[in-house]
Amino acid sequence: MSPDAGGAPASAEHDLEVRAAWLYHVERLTQAELARALRVSRARVVRLLAGARDHGVVEVGVDERAGQRIALSRALVRRFGLRQAIVVNGGVRDDATAHAVGIAAGRYLAGRLRDGLIIGVGWGATLNHALAPLAGARAARLSVISLLGGMTHSRAVNPAAVARRMADLLHADCYQVAAPLLVARASLRAALWAEPALADLRRRARRAHIALVSVGDASDDATLFREGLLSRAELDSLRAGGAVGDVLCQFLDARGTLLDHPVNRRAVTIGLPDLRAVGELVVASGGPRKIGALRAALAALPVGMLVTDVCAAQGLLSA
């Protein structure tokens, strides 16, 4: 235990690890400052800190459930060929899950902002929650494009409102699909898309650097049904046709195939082929109801980033 020059080198090394641990973890020195304070090289500092951790000098605890979420996100990336996935703790209720997933998606988008970015955006409760983290985010010459038509009357989350509010928060130009979300006939939809203003919007949407969308399910709780955009008969016939959910009002079956159904032909939205053209596709949805729709969307689209919750992640990985 003698501290003199004849002392065991192992003990001297241990003392140095302890000293480095206090300076780094409590006095909050950077690694460069630590190298100067201890008069050792930067590489030696890295080894000392790693040694302190390996030898139990320092114990670092991170929220123990974080490990599970990170394992799920890695498994999602592998299974679905994503570039990245974020898995958050969902809530007991769907609205709490939408809140948690939406905020994570908004934070991700805030981190991706750069000057001149073109952002395409869908709608729904989750994306509505994605707006809050964008307050205060700054970049120049941003554009926000709504990827689907509007509603003349809305009780909750008007699709157009998500794009409009996002553009306001980001001081961005806002481009809206100036047409109803659902029109009476497919021929009318084709005529609308032929209008120069809408054709221009559609070209713009295909050039989006990033698109943020959520998925809808085909249950009686689906927003499209509750908002009265789909009738009971339409919902039943979609389900009978094998629909498990939708992306931008385009209903998919369990394998991610676009259903041959009148509703899909009447929806004035940026279609799935257009969506495949955008630079980065971000899908944000969570909760048990969305698992089937998420699986279909992942099969149908080249999703880069998936933002979801633990429950949906486990569901996606279990099959």
Partner 1 sequence: MRADPATAMVPDEAVVHAAWLYHVEGWTQARIAAELRTTRARVIAWLARARDEGVVTVRIRGRGDAQARLGHALCNRFGLAEAVVVPAPLHAAHTAALVGHAAATWLTDRVHDGVALGVGWGETLHLCVKAIGAHAVPGASVVSLLGATTLSRTVTPPAVARRMADAFGAECYQLTAPLVVADARMRDTLWAERGLRALRARARKIDVALVSVGSLREDATLFRGGLLAPGARRSLVAAGAVGDVLCRFVDAHGNAVDHPVNRRMMAVDVGDLARVPCIAIASGGQAKVPALRAGLRALRARVLITDEAAAKGLLHEP
Contacts of 279 (CB under 8 A, 6+ apart): 208, 209, 210
Stretch that binds partner 1, among 9-17, 200-208, 216-224, 227-235 (CB under 8 A): 9-17
Q: How far is the CB of 23 from partner 1 (least distance, A)?
A: 6
Tell me which H or E stretch contains 253. strand 250-253
Report the alpha-carbon distance of residue 53 to residue 67 in Å, rounded.
18
Contacts of 88 (CB under 8 A, 6+ apart): 69, 100, 101, 104, 286, 307, 308, 309, 310
Q: What is the largest CA-CA distance in the chain?
A: 92
Contacts of 82 (CB under 8 A, 6+ apart): 76, 303, 304, 305, 306
Of residues 98-117, those binding partner 1 (CB under 8 A): 99-100, 103-104, 106-108, 110-111
**Is 86 one of the binding residues for partner 1 (CB under 8 A)?**
yes
Q: Which of residues 136 and 196 has its CB atom nearest to partner 1 in the complex? A: 136
Q: Which of residues 19 and 239 has its CB atom nearest to partner 1 in the complex? A: 19
Stretch that binds partner 1, among 83-91, 143-151, 267-275, 294-302 (CB under 8 A): 83-91
Please identify which residue in 40, 70, 178, 258 interacts with partner 1, judged by CB under 8 A: 70
Q: How far is the CB of 88 from partner 1 (least distance, A)?
A: 5
Report the alpha-carbon distance of residue 198 to residue 178 in Å, rounded.
7
Q: Which two tokens stand for residue 53?
A: 């951790």
Closest CA to 283 of 296, 273, 271: 296
Of residues 266-285, those binding partner 1 (CB under 8 A): none
**Is 246 one of the binding residues for partner 1 (CB under 8 A)?**
no
Please identify which residue in 13, 18, 139, 204 interacts with partner 1, judged by CB under 8 A: 18
Please identify which residue in 13, 21, 202, 277 interacts with partner 1, judged by CB under 8 A: 21
Can you spell out the DSSP letters for 181-231? SB-S-HHHHHHHHHSHHHHHHHHHHHT-SEEEE-EEESSTT-HHHHTTSS-
Half-sphere exposure of residue 274, counting CA atoms within 13 Å on the CB side? 23
Q: Binding pattern to partner 1, positions 135-164, x when CB under 8 A?
A: xxx---------------------------
Q: How far is the CB of 200 from partner 1 (least distance, A)?
A: 31
- By the criterion CB under 8 A, which residues form the site for partner 1? 1, 3, 7, 11, 14-15, 17-19, 21-23, 25-29, 37, 50, 52-53, 55-63, 66-67, 69-70, 73, 83-84, 86-88, 99-100, 103-104, 106-108, 110-111, 132-133, 135-137
